[in-house]
A and B are shown apart, each in its own frame.
Chain A
């Protein structure tokens, strides 16, 4: 049975949704075709995080990725096109519940800490992942959006690439 399943074509990708819940919050949701313990593992081992956090299609790469995933442990992700132009994201883990919940602070902003909560909910061998981002104020989220605007060029490259990829499928 397993052998047959493996030979089937890759299933259609699950949909990622993003919703703004309030002036301070964003929620991202996605289902994964695997048990919560494995999805959780991919979020908590730096050598695995490295494989997916900076997708090639964004044109950015993860120059370094340190994550000490336990309560009070810290993380630091450094992104960049090359070592001369980098951007660091860092903070600490404030809640770590194996296979179900991860909470960390985002301390790179100068308007206070944003809190990211990720929950993993397993149902029938699949895992619903909900990522909730809470910013300290609406001004802080405005900043995040503005810096997102700064990434516009990068995202536009991504748009083009996605179109190309979509067309070749």
Chain B
């Protein structure tokens, strides 16, 4: 189960590592679109865009549906949410550590100031 979840996460991260693919996700967040629309928007060949959409589709970030001769793409939202959720939990761990570290640094600064005064006397 954990293996399955992490393999999916990995595919999602790999899919998100490319700027064009992130752009495609943003674009699909605004409106569904065909591969042709996307290729035009991103100034790419149909083949190039098909490849990108394929990677996003495998990662579950995008779903496509072929009606007649047109393949329409839309966001596969759930997976993206899972992905974001994991990063957010990781971020919160560090954020809560660092909020505590702030206090330690403040205390060190205070001590240094006190010691500095003592030394000048």
Question: Using a CB–CB distance below 8 Å, which chain A residues touch chain B?
Answer: 2, 13-14, 16-18, 20, 22-23, 26, 28, 30, 32-35, 38-39, 41-42, 48, 51-55, 57-58, 129, 131, 138, 141-143, 145-146, 148-152, 155, 158-159, 162
24 A-B contacts (beta carbon < 8 Å) = A13-B99, A14-B98, A23-B10, A23-B17, A30-B94, A30-B95, A30-B98, A32-B102, A32-B105, A34-B106, A39-B101, A41-B108, A51-B104, A52-B98, A52-B100, A55-B100, A57-B96, A129-B98, A141-B10, A148-B89, A152-B89, A158-B92, A158-B93, A159-B92
Q: Are B92 and A145 in contact (CB under 8 A)?
A: no
Q: Are B9 and A142 in contact (CB under 8 A)?
A: yes
The answer to whether A23 and B14 touch (CB under 8 A), given A52-B103, A152-B89, is yes
The answer for the CA separation of A54 and B101 in the assembled complex, in Å, is 10
CB contacts (< 8 Å) of A28 on chain B: these are: 91, 94
The answer to whether A2 and B113 touch (CB under 8 A), given A48-B104, A148-B86, is yes
> By DSSP majority rule, is chain B's interface helix, strand, loop, or mixed?
helix
CB contacts (< 8 Å) of B87 on chain A: these are: 18, 20
Task: Give the interface size bracket for B toward A.
Answer: 35 or more
Q: Are B100 and A16 in contact (CB under 8 A)?
A: no
Q: Which partner residue on chain A sits nearest B98 by CB separation?
A: A30
Closest Cβ–Cβ distance, residue A85 to chain B (whole Å) = 18
CB contacts (< 8 Å) of A149 on chain B: these are: 2, 5-6, 86
